[in-house]
Amino acid sequence: MNLIKISWSNIRHKPLNTLLSIVLLSFGIGIISLMLLLKEQIGEKFDRNIKDIDFVLAAKGSPLQSMLANIYHVDAPTGNISVSEAKRIIKNPMVAEAIPLAYGDNYEKFRIVGTNNKYPDHYGCVLKEGRAFEQPFEVVLGSSVAVETGLQLGSTFTSVHGFDNAADDAEAHHHQLFTVVGIYETSNSVIDNLILTPVETTWMVHEHPAADSLATDSAAVEPEREMTAYLIKKRNKGAFGMLSRMTEDTTMQLANVAVENNRLMNNFGLGLSTITAIAVVIMLISFISIFISLYNAMRERRYELALMRTMGGTRFTLFRLIIQEGLLLVFFGFLIGAILSRVGLLVLSHFMKESFHYSFDKLAPGPLEFALLGITLLIGFIASALPARQALKLDIAKTLTHA
């Protein structure tokens, strides 16, 4: 006899019970699977974008905001800092390297960042086309920027003030032309979503000719230059304590990237853990539902099971039949849950891409998801084994007599 066909027929015999069990299980599995996918991909992106950056020197405010704005580019910066004041920090012997960032404009909501070529070099960016920027108003595009905007080598465009203002906002529009001189290969870093240009470009865009014309002669004092932030690599372990003390009586602050990233991941992890706990409860309810369904089905089908014994079936045959029914329910629930998690990831990725230009595109199952499948099948086996054990004790004569 074909036990798989019999198991499938028995499952179809109680469609409402089957549907309830699968819906509950797939919903729980879907949430847990989505959390695993998110945690893995967000962790990868965060680690990739931090990449040996130890501190962020920026205007006083929230250190976490400073890190989010200047490393991940998903928040507004805390303000600007004086270049002359910042030199006291970045020229300190404890600083191995300081990468300047100056920004405040966008093109089609992609940030235009004034910096130097140490910034893309830090992430190992390689030019796909063209060359590196050299002169003011020359720009190199991240790979995602080039794809989303359609800009090519030689293309020109104008910037819009702010990070969210649209190109049709006349009041926020600048008139200086930027020229695309290069496009980077995909680096899977924050550079993919940025437009890079020399620092001088940012200063020149925001100069005010009307105010400059008030100068009485060519010897007028040049305005104080400002920077949004510096990404700092330390030279030794004691750098943070000394450098942060140097910012105490200034408008600047030094954010410790490791500390702030741990805080961010802890908060993020707490949210994921709460959602995952809810999903685990839903899964447990689904296993209870499977147990009750199989147990009731076994009692209702005692006569059929007794007939199978008289036709040559062994006790193990009945045990295996009920176990198979439970595992089939669990497998289909897991499969549907895994599909739902991918759909949820794609929807979330769409909104993240619109808001922050971040996307989650890895849909392949990872080791943790295979482990989840194993745990799910194991618990499904346990839930099925209890009613299957009752089938082993089935008294054939008594059952057929009282049928």
Name every residue whose Cβ is closer than 8 Å to that of residue 360 and which is 6 or more positions away in sequence. 37, 38, 41, 42, 345, 348, 349, 352
Confidence of residue 4 (pLDDT cuts 50, 70, 90): low
Query: In the predicted model, what is the mean pLDDT of the chain?
Result: 83
Q: Decide: 61 and 272 in contact? Cβ < 8 Å.
A: no
First to last CA, the chain: 23
Q: Look-up: residue for tokens 């800092």?
A: 81
Position 312 pLDDT exceeds 90? no
d(CA 214, CA 141): 37
So what's the pLDDT on residue 216? 39
Q: What is the pLDDT of residues 167-207, one digit of tens each?
A: 555 556 678 899 999 999 999 899 999 999 999 999 998 87
Q: What is the pLDDT of residues 243-274, one digit of tens each?
A: 999 999 899 999 999 999 888 877 777 777 78
So what's the pLDDT on residue 313? 62
Confidence of residue 208 (pLDDT cuts 50, 70, 90): low
Helix (H) or strand (E) holding 196: strand 194-198
Q: What is the pLDDT of residues 79-134, one digit of tens each?
A: 999 999 999 999 999 999 999 999 999 998 899 999 999 999 999 999 999 999 99
Position 1 pLDDT exceeds 60? no
Position 166 pLDDT exceeds 70? no
So what's the pLDDT on residue 329? 86
Q: Each residue of 239-248: b (16+ CB within 10 Å) or e?
A: bbeebbeebe
What is the DSSP code string of 26-59? HHHHHHHHHHHHHHHHHHHHHHHHHTT--EEEEE
Quote the pTM value. Answer: 0.76
Domain residue ranges of the chain, discontinuous segments joined by +: 3-46+264-401
So what's the pLDDT on residue 115? 96
Higher local confidence (pLDDT), 298 or 344: 344
So what's the pLDDT on residue 306? 59
**What does the pLDDT average to over 295-320?**
66
d(CA 195, CA 205): 15
Confidence of residue 213 (pLDDT cuts 50, 70, 90): very low
Position 65 pLDDT exceeds 60? yes
Q: Decide: 339 and 345 in contact? Cβ < 8 Å.
A: no
So what's the pLDDT on residue 302? 63
Name every residue whose Cβ is closer than 8 Å to that of residue 167 and which is 6 or more positions away in sequence. 107, 108, 160, 173
Tokens read off for 402:
């009282």
So what's the pLDDT on residue 393? 63
Name every residue whose Cβ is closer than 8 Å to that of residue 65 and which is 6 or more positions away in sequence. 75, 76, 77, 78
**What does the pLDDT average to over 276-293?**
83
Confidence of residue 165 (pLDDT cuts 50, 70, 90): low
